[in-house]
Amino acid sequence: MRLINQEGSIKLNLLVFDIGGTSVKYSFWNNENLLEINSFDTPITWVALKEKLIEIKTNYAKDFSIDGVSFSFPGSIDQETGVILGASAVKYIHHFPIKSELEEILQLPVSLENDAKCAALAEVWLGAAKGINHVLFLVIGTGIGGAIVDNGIVRHGANLYAGEFGFAILDVQTAKSYSDLASPVRMAQRYCDRIGVSHQTHSGKEVFNLADEGDSDAQLEVEEFYKYLSLGLFNLQVSIDPEVIVIGGALSANQAIIDKLEIRINEWLLQKKVKDFKVRLLACKFRNDANLIGAVKNFMNRCATSG
């Protein structure tokens, strides 16, 4: 994948990692090019992860000079202290000075950023929202996360929760959140409950297909999914008023879903008689590679200079 910043980026050789709950992806950014992407299973301890990071850095150092290492992590990143707050599936990365420890073991400058915020940076820098100043990014998967980007800068918020849209409560009676009601994974689980099978029986994609084929139970769950996902998007659009909303996650590959969501949001606008208001949804460009690409941009923003 050739990823050239036409505006003239800082040329760096960066080792880049995307730390996930089940696997760690990594690559090398060289001559404005993301080289082959590799992965390994997420180690079960911090010590084991550090050993793997050192091993990979040592191997790349045989063939490249390395200017720094950039990470995409789950959790809330405190950029001032270099600590990952909150909680995630990778429990051992939280609540200690991880940035300084990484710099010590790797002997290189290190940058950290939340995974959804990295994905947003990638889309604003080189992707679907390139050249757009005010962008809202949603990644829709098991839950819903995202980021708010103004003039290329990611907002973090007073408690580092800016962009954590999935916590918003959309059903007062049940206190169910945006993630509970508008995730395709949760939709598939509800469908499985409805027909009395295990949650592993059907994926979200399969439920969409079943609905298209006329399955009435699937149609009910898909309708609920669209209702709540569009409602949340409507609320975000009228609250934050971005120029575009970029949709990430597996469903972003289906343009028909994006189109239906845009129609539903405009129906909410019409229902509430909101005038002179435009909604623009875009599918993300980089998908599974976005976290790595955005981590590169984060390093450039935080650690590099043009001089």
* 78 within some domain: yes
d(CA 60, CA 57): 5
Which pLDDT score, from 0 to 100, does residue 305 have?
A: 52
The CA–CA distances, whole Å, from 51 to 46, 56, 156 equal 9, 9, 30
d(CA 167, CA 175): 10
The number of CA neighbours under 13 Å toward the Cβ of 119 is: 26
End-to-end CA distance of the chain: 27
Same domain, yes or no: 100 and 231: no
If DSSP codes are grouped into helix, strand and coil, which group holds residue 255? helix
Which pLDDT score, from 0 to 100, does residue 1 have?
A: 40
* 184 within some domain: yes
Same domain, yes or no: 74 and 144: no
Res. 7: pLDDT tops 80: no
CA proximity to 72, closest of 44, 35, 32, 110: 110
Res. 91: pLDDT tops 90: yes
pLDDT, tens digit, for every residue of 290-304?
999 999 999 999 886
Q: Fill in the DSSP letter of residue 42.
A: P
Give the containing element (helix H, strand E) for 284: none
Which pLDDT score, from 0 to 100, does residue 106 have?
A: 98
If DSSP codes are grouped into helix, strand and coil, which group holds residue 53? helix
* 227 within some domain: yes
- Sequence-distant (6+) residues with CB within 8 A of 95 are 83, 84, 85
* 44 within some domain: yes
* 4 within some domain: no
Same domain, yes or no: 138 and 267: yes
Q: Calculate mean pLDDT across residues 282-289.
A: 93
Q: Calculate mean pLDDT across residues 109-123.
A: 96
Which pLDDT score, from 0 to 100, does residue 275 have?
A: 87
pLDDT, tens digit, for every residue of 168-216?
999 999 999 999 999 999 999 999 999 999 999 999 999 999 999 999 9
Same domain, yes or no: 159 and 246: yes
**What range does the domain containing 233 cover?**
130-284
pLDDT, tens digit, for every residue of 238-267?
999 999 999 998 888 899 999 999 999 999
Same domain, yes or no: 45 and 60: yes
d(CA 136, CA 123): 10
* 2 within some domain: no
Same domain, yes or no: 67 and 165: no
Same domain, yes or no: 187 and 265: yes
If DSSP codes are grouped into helix, strand and coil, which group holds residue 123? helix
Which pLDDT score, from 0 to 100, does residue 10 have?
A: 61
Structure tokens at 60: 């790349």
pLDDT, tens digit, for every residue of 139-155?
998 889 999 999 999 99
Which pLDDT score, from 0 to 100, does residue 182 have?
A: 96
Same domain, yes or no: 106 and 200: no
pLDDT, tens digit, for every residue of 19-62?
999 999 999 999 888 899 999 999 999 999 999 999 999 999 99
* 125 within some domain: no
CB contact at 8 A, 174 and 146: no
Same domain, yes or no: 74 and 175: no
Structure tokens at 292: 């790595």
Res. 158: pLDDT tops 70: yes
Average model confidence (pLDDT) across the chain: 93
CB contact at 8 A, 129 and 148: no
d(CA 245, CA 228): 16
CATH number at residue 236: 3.30.420.40
Res. 221: pLDDT tops 80: yes
Beta bridge partners of 137: 147, 246
What total of structural domains would you count in the chain? 2
* 69 within some domain: yes
Same domain, yes or no: 143 and 83: no
The residue type at 116: A
Same domain, yes or no: 76 and 48: yes
CB contact at 8 A, 229 and 240: no
Same domain, yes or no: 294 and 279: no
